[in-house]
Amino acid sequence: QVQLVESGGGSVQAGGSLRLSCRASGRTYNTWSMAWFRQTSGNEREGVAAIARDGTPSYADSVQGRFIISRDNAAKTLDLTMNTLRVEDTGMYYCAARLGPVESWNRLNPRVYMEWGQGTQVTVTS
Protein backbone atom coordinates (compact mmCIF):
# COMPACT_ATOMS: atom_id res chain seq x y z
CA GLN A 1 0.00 0.00 0.00
CA VAL A 2 0.95 3.63 -0.40
CA GLN A 3 -0.41 6.69 1.34
CA LEU A 4 -0.70 9.91 -0.66
CA VAL A 5 -0.76 13.50 0.58
CA GLU A 6 -1.23 16.42 -1.83
CA SER A 7 -0.14 20.01 -1.33
CA GLY A 8 0.32 23.19 -3.33
CA GLY A 9 -3.22 24.13 -4.22
CA GLY A 10 -4.51 27.66 -3.96
CA SER A 11 -6.07 30.54 -5.81
CA VAL A 12 -4.47 32.12 -8.85
CA GLN A 13 -5.51 34.43 -11.66
CA ALA A 14 -6.02 33.10 -15.15
CA GLY A 15 -2.72 32.91 -16.98
CA GLY A 16 -0.81 32.19 -13.81
CA SER A 17 0.95 29.05 -12.60
CA LEU A 18 0.76 26.62 -9.71
CA ARG A 19 2.72 23.55 -8.75
CA LEU A 20 1.05 20.67 -6.99
CA SER A 21 2.99 18.04 -5.09
CA CYS A 22 2.04 14.60 -3.86
CA ARG A 23 4.13 12.87 -1.25
CA ALA A 24 3.87 9.11 -0.99
CA SER A 25 4.69 6.91 1.94
CA GLY A 26 5.26 3.21 1.80
CA ARG A 27 7.72 0.98 0.09
CA THR A 28 8.52 0.36 -3.56
CA TYR A 29 7.18 3.69 -4.84
CA ASN A 30 8.93 3.13 -8.15
CA THR A 31 6.63 0.18 -8.86
CA TRP A 32 3.51 2.35 -8.79
CA SER A 33 1.86 4.05 -11.77
CA MET A 34 0.80 7.58 -10.77
CA ALA A 35 -1.66 10.17 -11.99
CA TRP A 36 -3.42 13.44 -11.24
CA PHE A 37 -7.18 13.81 -11.47
CA ARG A 38 -9.51 16.70 -10.87
CA GLN A 39 -13.13 16.98 -9.95
CA THR A 40 -15.70 19.74 -9.72
CA SER A 41 -19.02 19.60 -7.96
CA GLY A 42 -21.52 17.41 -9.74
CA ASN A 43 -19.00 16.04 -12.21
CA GLU A 44 -17.04 12.83 -12.47
CA ARG A 45 -13.38 12.69 -11.67
CA GLU A 46 -11.39 13.67 -14.78
CA GLY A 47 -7.93 12.47 -15.67
CA VAL A 48 -5.45 15.32 -16.06
CA ALA A 49 -2.04 13.69 -16.37
CA ALA A 50 -0.45 10.35 -15.67
CA ILE A 51 3.08 9.06 -15.48
CA ALA A 52 4.26 5.51 -15.91
CA ARG A 53 6.87 3.83 -13.79
CA ASP A 54 9.51 4.61 -16.43
CA GLY A 55 8.54 8.29 -16.46
CA THR A 56 6.47 8.25 -19.65
CA PRO A 57 3.80 10.98 -19.34
CA SER A 58 0.25 11.10 -20.62
CA TYR A 59 -1.91 14.21 -20.73
CA ALA A 60 -5.53 15.09 -21.25
CA ASP A 61 -6.01 17.12 -24.42
CA SER A 62 -7.24 20.06 -22.36
CA VAL A 63 -3.91 20.42 -20.53
CA GLN A 64 -1.45 19.26 -23.20
CA GLY A 65 1.29 21.84 -23.59
CA ARG A 66 0.38 23.66 -20.36
CA PHE A 67 0.84 21.06 -17.60
CA ILE A 68 3.89 18.96 -16.82
CA ILE A 69 3.80 15.83 -14.68
CA SER A 70 6.98 14.52 -13.08
CA ARG A 71 8.02 12.03 -10.45
CA ASP A 72 11.02 11.55 -8.22
CA ASN A 73 11.21 7.91 -7.20
CA ALA A 74 13.97 8.50 -4.66
CA ALA A 75 12.01 11.24 -2.90
CA LYS A 76 8.68 9.44 -3.46
CA THR A 77 7.06 12.54 -4.88
CA LEU A 78 4.76 13.31 -7.78
CA ASP A 79 4.49 16.87 -9.09
CA LEU A 80 2.15 18.66 -11.44
CA THR A 81 3.36 21.98 -12.80
CA MET A 82 0.42 23.92 -14.17
CA ASN A 83 1.08 26.87 -16.46
CA THR A 84 -1.19 29.26 -18.32
CA LEU A 85 -4.04 28.32 -16.03
CA ARG A 86 -7.61 28.81 -17.16
CA VAL A 87 -10.80 29.31 -15.21
CA GLU A 88 -11.92 25.85 -16.35
CA ASP A 89 -8.90 24.29 -14.61
CA THR A 90 -10.59 25.03 -11.30
CA GLY A 91 -11.34 21.96 -9.20
CA MET A 92 -10.20 19.60 -6.50
CA TYR A 93 -7.03 17.86 -7.63
CA TYR A 94 -6.26 14.34 -6.51
CA CYS A 95 -3.13 12.27 -6.63
CA ALA A 96 -3.71 8.60 -7.46
CA ALA A 97 -1.62 5.46 -7.56
CA ARG A 98 -1.84 1.93 -8.86
CA LEU A 99 0.61 -0.86 -8.15
CA GLY A 100 2.15 -2.09 -11.38
CA PRO A 101 1.76 -0.94 -14.97
CA VAL A 102 -1.27 0.62 -16.62
CA GLU A 103 -1.91 0.34 -20.35
CA SER A 104 -1.07 3.61 -22.10
CA TRP A 105 -4.63 3.97 -23.41
CA ASN A 106 -6.06 3.60 -19.90
CA ARG A 107 -3.81 5.86 -17.82
CA LEU A 108 -6.36 8.65 -17.41
CA ASN A 109 -9.16 6.33 -16.31
CA PRO A 110 -9.87 6.85 -12.59
CA ARG A 111 -11.23 3.31 -12.24
CA VAL A 112 -7.82 1.69 -12.62
CA TYR A 113 -6.26 3.50 -9.65
CA MET A 114 -6.47 1.97 -6.21
CA GLU A 115 -5.02 4.59 -3.88
CA TRP A 116 -6.07 8.23 -3.59
CA GLY A 117 -5.01 11.29 -1.69
CA GLN A 118 -7.40 13.64 0.08
CA GLY A 119 -7.19 16.31 -2.63
CA THR A 120 -6.04 19.90 -2.87
CA GLN A 121 -8.21 22.73 -4.17
CA VAL A 122 -7.18 24.80 -7.18
CA THR A 123 -9.17 27.93 -7.98
CA VAL A 124 -8.46 29.99 -11.08
CA THR A 125 -10.10 33.39 -11.24
CA SER A 126 -10.70 35.59 -14.25
Tell me: the pLDDT tens digits for 90-108? 999 999 999 999 999 999 9
- Residue 102, pLDDT score: 94
Spans in the chain with pLDDT lower than 70 = none
Q: State the Cα–Cα distance between residues 5 and 81, nearest whole angstrom.
A: 16
Q: State the Cα–Cα distance between residues 38 and 63, nearest whole angstrom.
A: 12
Q: State the Cα–Cα distance between residues 5 and 116, nearest whole angstrom.
A: 9
Burial of 91 (0-12, 13-18, 19+ CB in 10 A): buried
Indicate the residue type of 91: G
- Residue 56, pLDDT score: 96
